[in-house]
């Protein structure tokens, strides 16, 4: 790999946040931030776009609702109507109260599982995937700013100076 | 940014912890060796599990006739145990979903284990309708397939089928919710193992952590999916026990045919679930030294929920009695008089004492914060809630419209064996979990440290 990267390691998420703000204000493009837990307020600073996961979840839910209603309409109304306790067996609408529980469960089922699968795909996390956090301590108690030098017009020395000035504990170049 | 919390609130993380201390404390049971008490408990649980599995084999081989059921009482311990376990399985998702929506930070200390408990309890619960089918190899008939592959379909009007969908959805969604929260913590364990050069542990937790790296985009999505799944799981929790209660409420048996069942069952489920969480947590915090994370404050908060839901259950019992009298229906009235004063009066008395009277003691702050008392009371509630289901099911059935068919229910050794067996399955899973999974959400506890840690509250 010829791409050069600078890693700034921090011991506190608030120090990292001020450092990231400073870097961005100087025109540095931050590639990514690695942390042991979500740092609130980092997303707009380093340009993480708002996720559309909830929209996907809504669509999966609607799909689940339609599938379940179709299933119940096809089996009990269309294919083989049965007289069960005198319940109306000739129209979906009139039999709907008895179909509400399963329609609800299937909506939740499809929304939750569809979203979980989308989440794993978007994060590129799956069994057997190798982790790519540059420093193993970032899942414990350290916070890391990753800057790709090829993507930046600001020089490496300048970035290092800003990182040092804003309280980075360790700065490494790869 | 960490929001500053009012100083009047008690700290939720004691002992002036750093982020690294949190990782150490929670990873310790996984990285260390099991002690003697764990092995003793595990051995007992495995023996109970094997005994239960033996009884299940015997039931499947010989038939339901091995149970104490008779023509009059055709549902007894199996459905009692089913509802009891499903009820216990309600606290986990309630803690992780409802308390997340209410932004209750104290949920962080207990949600992981409560969700684990949910999953194991639902496994135990699902066992009972399965074996009660008699021919378990036909269990796939509950799926929407044409019956016996002809043209007749399963009946979507039946609450028993709603149950299949409700329990199935609840189990799988809880599992996914739980696992998504576990992924970052498995990554912490994996990276700790890599730094300590433990290749086998790195490989195992590497697979389990799905290659989680903790980058900002992933955390952003993590927070989003946690919130939306909580929003989905909240009505799900309420719907599951509502549907379980409809197994009874949509029938025409006096004592079952009441509209109060759904809210009454949901409150009872949360009540029993919290009792089981307390039973397990009070032991666990001691055994794995997590007293600084699961504090007296947490115990008091859970006790308040027990008191609230216990009171709701009490009001429901009294409402049922009032409504049976007010309905003017003789059969309805007799069902309740028989429940309280008939041959099963002792079960009714046990239920009333354990569920209605005992939680009222928690009005006293001293008792709410007393660990020994809380532990004993949580056991009382577990027993009381088992008796509640037994009372609802058996006393409503054993004296039906025809006095010549009145009868009593006596459990056979197989009934008892299967119940003890499910306790064995539950504790075997839970003990294994406590040794191999992070029992507290490491990442989430770190995220609340600055707002609720004791050193930030001075």
Share of chain B above pLDDT 90, in %: 54
Instruction: Give the pLDDT confidence score for residue B171 in this predicted structure.
Output: 93
Instruction: Kindly state the average pLDDT of the residues A15-25.
Output: 87
Instruction: Kindly state the average pLDDT of the residues B284-307.
Output: 89
Instruction: Give the pLDDT confidence score for residue B1 in this predicted structure.
Output: 41
Of the partner residues B166, B176, B218, the one whose CB lies closest to the CB of residue A105: B166
Domain ranges within chain B, ordered by starting residue: 19-136+157-456
User: A117 and A62, same structural domain?
Assistant: yes
Tell me the average pLDDT of chain B. Answer: 89
Instruction: Scan for tokens 């004691």, then name that residue.
Output: B14
Q: Does A45 touch chain B (CB under 8 A)?
A: no
User: A33 and A57, same structural domain?
Assistant: no
Query: B411 with B75: CB under 8 angstroms?
Result: no
Shortest distance, CA B307 to any CA of chain A (angstroms): 30
| CA gap A147, A4 in Å, rounded | 9
Q: Does B444 touch chain A (CB under 8 A)?
A: yes
Pairing mode, strands A5-10 and A32-34: unpaired
- CATH code, domain carrying A15: 3.30.70
Share of chain A above pLDDT 70, in %: 98
Residue A45 lies in a domain: yes
Cβ contacts of B157 on chain A, cutoff 8 Å = 76, 84-85, 87, 95, 98
Name residues whose C-beta falls within 8 Å of residue A135's C-beta, 6 or more positions apart in sequence: A7, A9, A34, A142, A144
Q: State phi, psi for A148 to the nearest 5 degrees.
A: -95, 120
Number of structural domains found in chain A: 2
Instruction: Kindly state the average pLDDT of the residues A4-22.
Output: 87
Give the nearest chain B residue to A40 (CA atoms).
Answer: B1
Shortest distance, CA A166 to any CA of chain B (angstroms): 17
Of the partner residues B144, B195, B221, the one whose CB lies closest to the CB of residue A136: B195
Instruction: Give the pLDDT confidence score for residue B55 in this predicted structure.
Output: 94
Range of the domain at A71: 53-122
Give the nearest chain A residue to B448 (CA atoms).
Answer: A37
Quick one: pLDDT band at residue A3, thresholds 50, 70, 90?
low
Instruction: Give the pLDDT confidence score for residue B286 in this predicted structure.
Output: 84
Q: Cα B320–B322–B327 angle (5° rounding)?
A: 95
Give the nearest chain A residue to B153 (CA atoms).
Answer: A75
* Among the listed residues B112, B58, B137, B122, the one whose alpha carbon sits nearest the alpha carbon of residue B90: B122
Residue A161 lies in a domain: yes
Give the nearest chain B residue to A15 (CA atoms).
Answer: B1
Cβ contacts of B444 on chain A, cutoff 8 Å = 37
Instruction: Give the pLDDT confidence score for residue A150 in this predicted structure.
Output: 82
| CA gap B118, B178 in Å, rounded | 10
Q: Does B160 touch chain A (CB under 8 A)?
A: no
Per-residue model confidence as pLDDT tens digits over A59-110: 999 999 999 999 999 988 888 888 887 878 888 888 888 899 999 999 999 9
| CA gap B308, B104 in Å, rounded | 17
B444 and A112 in contact by Cβ < 8 A? no
DSSP lists the bridge partners of residue B17 as none
User: A96 and A57, same structural domain?
Assistant: yes
User: What DSSP element (H or E) covers B293?
Assistant: none
User: A43 and A62, same structural domain?
Assistant: no
Per-residue model confidence as pLDDT tens digits over A118-141: 999 998 888 888 888 888 888 888
Q: Does B180 touch chain A (CB under 8 A)?
A: yes
Residue A127 lies in a domain: no
| CA gap B295, B273 in Å, rounded | 19
Quick one: pLDDT band at residue A11, thresholds 50, 70, 90?
confident
Quick one: pLDDT band at residue B4, thresholds 50, 70, 90?
low
Quick one: pLDDT band at residue B3, thresholds 50, 70, 90?
low
Of the partner residues B19, B153, B206, the one whose CB lies closest to the CB of residue A36: B19
Per-residue model confidence as pLDDT tens digits over B365-424: 999 999 999 999 999 999 999 999 999 999 999 998 888 999 999 999 999 999 999 999
Instruction: Kindly state the average pLDDT of the residues B17-42.
Output: 87
Instruction: Give the pLDDT confidence score for residue B2 in this predicted structure.
Output: 46
DSSP alpha helix (H) spans, A8-150: 13-25, 42-46, 53-72, 92-122
pLDDT of A167 over the 80 cut = yes
Per-residue model confidence as pLDDT tens digits over B223-275: 999 999 999 998 999 999 999 999 899 888 888 888 899 999 999 999 999 99
User: A160 and A103, same structural domain?
Assistant: no
Instruction: Kindly state the average pLDDT of the residues B45-55.
Output: 95
Instruction: Kindly state the average pLDDT of the residues B292-302.
Output: 90
pTM here?
0.91
Residue A111 lies in a domain: yes
User: A67 and A42, same structural domain?
Assistant: no
Instruction: Give the pLDDT confidence score for residue B313 in this predicted structure.
Output: 93
Query: A157 with A10: CB under 8 angstroms?
Result: no
Instruction: Give the pLDDT confidence score for residue B94 in this predicted structure.
Output: 82
Cβ contacts of B196 on chain A, cutoff 8 Å = none
Shortest distance, CA B1 to any CA of chain A (angstroms): 5
Pairing mode, strands A170-173 and A143-148: unpaired
Q: Does A71 touch chain B (CB under 8 A)?
A: yes
Of the partner residues A109, A127, A133, the one whose CB lies closest to the CB of residue B169: A109
Q: Identify the CATH assignment for B19-136+157-456 out of 3.30.200.20, 3.40.50.300, 3.30.750.80, 1.20.1630.10.
A: 1.20.1630.10
Q: Does B55 touch chain A (CB under 8 A)?
A: no
B212 and A102 in contact by Cβ < 8 A? no
User: How is A70-111 classified by DSSP, letter by letter?
Assistant: HHHIIIIIII----STT---S-HHHHHHHHHHHHHHHHHHHH
Q: Does A131 touch chain B (CB under 8 A)?
A: yes
Per-residue model confidence as pLDDT tens digits over B68-85: 998 889 888 999 999 999
Quick one: pLDDT band at residue A2, thresholds 50, 70, 90?
low
Instruction: Give the pLDDT confidence score for residue A1 in this predicted structure.
Output: 44
Q: Domain boundary residue among A122, A140, A158?
A: A122
How many contacts (CB atoms, under 8 Å) link A and B?
206
| CA gap A112, B228 in Å, rounded | 8
């Amino acid at each position: 790999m010829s791409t050069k990267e600078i890693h700034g390691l921090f011991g506190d998420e608030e120090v990292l946040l001020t450092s990231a703000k400073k870097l961005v204000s100087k025109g540095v493009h931050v590639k990514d931030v690695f942390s042991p837990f979500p740092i609130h307020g980092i997303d707009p600073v380093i340009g993480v776009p708002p996720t559309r996961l909830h929209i996907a979840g809504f669509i999966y839910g609607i799909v689940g609702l339609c599938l379940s209603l179709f299933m119940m309409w096809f089996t009990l109304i269309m294919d083989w109507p049965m007289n069960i306790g005198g319940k109306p067996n000739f129209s979906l609408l009139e039999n709907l109260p008895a179909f509400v529980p399963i329609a609800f469960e299937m909506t939740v089922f499809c929304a939750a599982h569809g979203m979980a699968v989308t989440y794993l795909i978007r994060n590129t996390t799956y069994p057997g995937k190798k982790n790519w956090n540059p420093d193993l301590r970032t899942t414990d108690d350290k916070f890391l700013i990753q800057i790709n030098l090829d993507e930046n017009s600001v020089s490496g020395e300048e970035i290092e100076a800003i990182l040092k000035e804003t309280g980075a504990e360790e700065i490494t170049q790869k | 940014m960490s929001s500053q919390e009012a100083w009047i609130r008690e700290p939720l993380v004691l002992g002036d912890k750093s982020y690294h201390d949190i990782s150490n404390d929670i990873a310790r049971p996984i990285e260390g060796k099991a002690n003697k008490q764990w092995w003793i408990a595990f051995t007992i649980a495995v023996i109970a599990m094997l005994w239960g599995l033996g009884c299940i084999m015997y039931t499947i081989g010989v038939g339901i006739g091995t149970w104490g059921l008779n023509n009059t009482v055709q549902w007894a311990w199996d459905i009692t145990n089913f509802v009891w376990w499903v009820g216990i399985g309600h606290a986990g998702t309630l803690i992780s979903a409802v308390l997340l929506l209410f932004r209750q930070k104290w949920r962080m200390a207990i949600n992981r284990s409560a969700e684990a408990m949910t999953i194991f309890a639902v496994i135990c619960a699902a066992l009972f309708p399965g074996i009660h089918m008699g021919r378990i190899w036909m269990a796939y008939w509950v799926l929407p397939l044409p019956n016996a592959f002809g043209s007749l379909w399963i009946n979507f009007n039946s609450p028993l089928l709603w149950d299949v969908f409700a329990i199935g959805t609840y189990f799988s969604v809880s599992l996914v919710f739980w696992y998504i929260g576990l992924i970052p913590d498995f990554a912490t364990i994996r990276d700790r193992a890599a730094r300590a050069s433990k290749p086998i542990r790195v490989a195992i937790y590497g697979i389990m952590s799905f290659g989680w790296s903790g980058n900002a985009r992933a955390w952003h999505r993590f927070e989003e999916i946690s919130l939306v799944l909580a929003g989905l799981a909240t009505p799900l929790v309420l719907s599951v026990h509502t549907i379980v209660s409809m197994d009874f409420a949509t029938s025409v048996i006096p004592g079952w045919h009441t509209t109060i069942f759904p809210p009454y069952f949901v409150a009872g489920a949360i009540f029993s679930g919290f009792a089981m969480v307390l039973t397990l947590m009070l032991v666990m915090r001691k055994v794995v030294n997590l007293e600084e994370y699961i504090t007296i404050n947490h115990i008091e908060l859970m006790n308040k929920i027990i008191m609230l839901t216990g009171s709701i259950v009490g009001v429901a019992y009294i409402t049922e009695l009032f409504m049976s009298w007010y309905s003017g229906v003789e059969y309805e009235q007799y069902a309740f008089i028989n429940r309280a004063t008939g041959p099963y009066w002792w079960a009714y008395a046990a239920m009333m004492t354990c569920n209605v009277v005992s939680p009222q003691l928690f009005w006293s702050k001293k008792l709410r914060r007393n660990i020994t008392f809380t532990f004993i009371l949580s056991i009382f509630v577990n027993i009381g809630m088992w008796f509640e289901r037994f009372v609802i099911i058996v006393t409503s059935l054993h004296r039906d419209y025809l006095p010549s068919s009145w009868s009593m229910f006596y459990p056979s050794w197989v009934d008892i064996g299967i119940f003890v067996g499910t306790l064995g399955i539950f504790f075997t899973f839970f003990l294994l979990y406590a040794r191999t999974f992070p029992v507290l959400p490491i990442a989430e506890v770190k995220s609340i440290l600055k707002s609720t840690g004791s050193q930030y509250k001075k």
